[in-house]
Amino acid sequence: MLRVAVLVAACAVALAYNPILDTTTCCSCQTLLPNNVPDNVEPQRMPSPFKIIVSRNYYAPLEEIKVNLTAEGDTYFRSFMIVAWATDYRSDNQLRKAVGKWDAVDGTPVAKDCLNNQEDGEALRSTTMDAKRMVKLAWRSPERYGHLEFRATFVVDDDTYWAKEKSQMIVDPKADPPTTKAPLPQIIDPINSAGCGKQKGCYRYPHGCWELYCEYIATWEDHGTHITFEVGAHTDGLDDRWVSLALSNDTYMGDDMVMDCVHNSENHQTKVSLSYNEPGKKQNRNLPEYLTNKALVFQEGSHFNGRIRCRFQIRKYNKDSTGRVVALTGNKWHIILARGNAVQGNKLRHGLLEHQLPVVSPYKVSLQTIPDVHDRARYPLVKAHGCLMLFAFVFCSSIALLLTKYYKPMWPNKRFFEQRYWFVVHFNLMALAFLVVIIAIILIFVEAGGWSLTPDLPQRAHPILGIIIFICILINPIIALFRPSEDNKCRPVFNWFHWAFGTIANVLAIPNIFIGMDFGKAMIPWWATWIMVFWVIFHLIIEVTLEVHQCCTHKKNKERRKKYEAMKRDNPKNYIQEPEPAGRRFKRSLLWLHLTVTTIITIIMIIVIAVC
């Protein structure tokens, strides 16, 4: 029963990781981003169902503008913050200043924020967490501040929020017309993919996409003295984003020349810069600006409507003494396309989940050729690691542990090479699992080039948990070598340690498999997680059923045992068969059921991991 309790506790911990009570609330006044957002939760990429509806798109001092925050369909938000900002805001270091005063017309409980001194404007934030479908507000400003826009962040729950959604522009009629004053987002021509493979080399993902629908696209065209590059990516449409093209000798980050296309929302500019990935480290560093200026002939870029793109020309022979900038000719490279978030024009590192992982061309290309590359490099060692671990923990160890826990009394009179059946299966499956785990660990160390930690939780925990599990399953066969005989008084101590290490390993392994499936490099489709969830629930049900069954038959078995002991005492010379346990037919069918389902699920999962 203890093992079940531990498993249940592990589930509780897993659930606690996703707390039902949301901690996310709105918002920091300067950034308009929510507080207490769990790790790894990012603002939504899809268009927001929440809108800022205004009664007028111009303003005059002290005239009220009615503002409705609405939710489409049956969506709702729990928490929000809204502020009015000037649109001609340009300075990089200055904080944005809230403009005007707010009132909640419909009595929604709110608090005012960003109040530094009396003349300043304020932001408005909700103070209750109930579901809101419509909030009516009123805004007025004592003065003119040029053209304005309302920005609001809507928090639904811990996993879902939309940040800094814009209203339409609120024009100041006395200011210069917005087209000249407020820098509107410039949009450059889309990347034409019709010429892919004919006039220019392309790498697009997914296969055959055209620019507006590509997750990533890069093109190159050699003009003799320089090369024209185009690079673009889909983004979540939020302010500061980047996309980069790296030239790499392998399919990994490290020792690569990188061309960045970074959007800075503070000045509405999308700029190209050069950087490099440090050898042997997963780190990107900017190159000094003069190197970029020396290399670039021309550049343009835009970030609009969820598309970031740059078009630029780079001189072919910029090779510098540091070797960070390479001559763009006479070599072949893997093309790496990556994207991520930025802050004021500075790139932040990309994530490692499936949709955040850079795509890498499966083979090397020369920039003087015009292939139309699609598909992405795969990481067979990662996949092999996943398959092996799944086989070891889902198949081998779950069956082996089930037998030890519930099937010891079964088949009491049968032996296989003088050993009981359960022991033969337990021993062999565990030995197999042990070997398989060691191979899997070696593979992943080879892939990662040694011990490496990913920056974010829960991925960061994967190798650490892995090592703890590995130590447990390393200790177990060692202490099994020194297993005392059955009547030795140390045997219960042995049994206890053997049980404890085995249980710790198994209980940690299952969550670790779930974490592992999230690694982008494994490229496991999201729905595979549900297959695993189904299996875990199935396994738990089998365990609980067997546990209950064991309780129910306990008395009967004890009586049979007593009778057997008595008979043995009375006839010490005769061989007497050990009693068969009660309910053995039921137990046998459960074992078959578990074996069948687990085998099928293991096979499906291994195929999914290997093929996808």
Ligand X SMILES: *[C@@H]1O[C@H](CO)[C@@H](O)[C@H](O)[C@H]1NC(C)=O
Residue 71 CB, nearest approach to ligand X (Å): 12
- In the region spanning residues 421 to 450, those forming contacts with ligand X, defined by CB under 6 A, are none
Contact between 203 and 248 (Cβ < 8 Å): no
Residue 66 CB, nearest approach to ligand X (Å): 4
Neighbours of 541 (CB within 10 A): 12
Query: Which of 3, 51, 97, 136 contacts ligand X by CB under 6 A?
Result: 136
DSSP state, residue 521: G
Q: Are strands 334-343 and 359-360 parallel, antiparallel or unpaired?
A: antiparallel
Q: For residues 516 and 383, what is the distance between their CA atoms, to the nearest angstrom?
A: 10
Q: Return the number of the residue (23 or 55) whose C-beta is nearest ligand X.
A: 55
What secondary structure does DSSP assign to 197-240, as a single string? TTTBEEEEESTT--GGG-SEEEEEEE-SSEEEEEEEEE--S-S-
The C-alpha angle 492, 507, 357, rounded to 5 degrees, equals 155
Neighbours of 510 (CB within 10 A): 20
Q: For residues 532 and 513, what is the distance between their CA atoms, to the nearest angstrom?
A: 9
Residue 163 CB, nearest approach to ligand X (Å): 22
Q: Return the number of the residue (51 or 181) whose C-beta is nearest ligand X.
A: 51
Verify binding: residue 57, ligand X, rule CB under 6 A.
no
SS3 category, 239? coil
Q: Return the number of the residue (171 or 314) whose C-beta is nearest ligand X.
A: 171
Residue 65 CB, nearest approach to ligand X (Å): 8
Q: Return the number of the residue (55 or 331) whose C-beta is nearest ligand X.
A: 55
Residue 56 CB, nearest approach to ligand X (Å): 8
- In the region spanning residues 457 to 476, those forming contacts with ligand X, defined by CB under 6 A, are none
Contact between 337 and 245 (Cβ < 8 Å): yes
Q: Return the number of the residue (65 or 425) whose C-beta is nearest ligand X.
A: 65
* Tokens linked to 524: 């496991």
Residue 55 CB, nearest approach to ligand X (Å): 4
Q: Return the number of the residue (11 or 105) whose C-beta is nearest ligand X.
A: 105
Tell the residue number behind the tokens 């560093």, with chain if given: 285
What x/- string results for residues 14 through 53 when contact with ligand X is judged by CB under 6 A?
Answer: ---------------------------------------x
Q: For residues 351 and 357, what is the distance between their CA atoms, to the nearest angstrom?
A: 6
Q: Contacts with ligand X: how many residues (CB under 6 A)?
A: 6
DSSP state, residue 497: H
Residue 68 CB, nearest approach to ligand X (Å): 4
SS3 category, 446? helix
| 564: enclosing H helix or E strand | helix 528-570
Residue 348 CB, nearest approach to ligand X (Å): 37
Q: Return the number of the residue (150 or 276) whose C-beta is nearest ligand X.
A: 150
Tell the residue number behind the tokens 């939780």, with chain if given: 457
Q: Return the number of the residue (57 or 495) whose C-beta is nearest ligand X.
A: 57
Contact between 451 and 445 (Cβ < 8 Å): yes
* Nearest alpha-carbon partner for 591 in 526, 548, 542: 542
Residue 49 CB, nearest approach to ligand X (Å): 16
Q: Return the number of the residue (140 or 364) whose C-beta is nearest ligand X.
A: 140
Q: For residues 408 and 557, what is the distance between their CA atoms, to the nearest angstrom?
A: 13
Residue 136 CB, nearest approach to ligand X (Å): 6
Q: Compute the Cα dihedral for 494, 499, 504, 506 and give only its sign.
A: positive
Q: Return the number of the residue (80 or 519) whose C-beta is nearest ligand X.
A: 80
What x/- string results for residues 59 through 98 when contact with ligand X is judged by CB under 6 A?
Answer: -------x-x------------------------------
Query: Which of 55, 225, 293, 329 contacts ligand X by CB under 6 A?
Result: 55
Which residues have CB under 8 Å from 490's CB, separation 6+? 484
The residues that touch ligand X, with contacts defined as CB under 6 A, are 53-55, 66, 68, 136
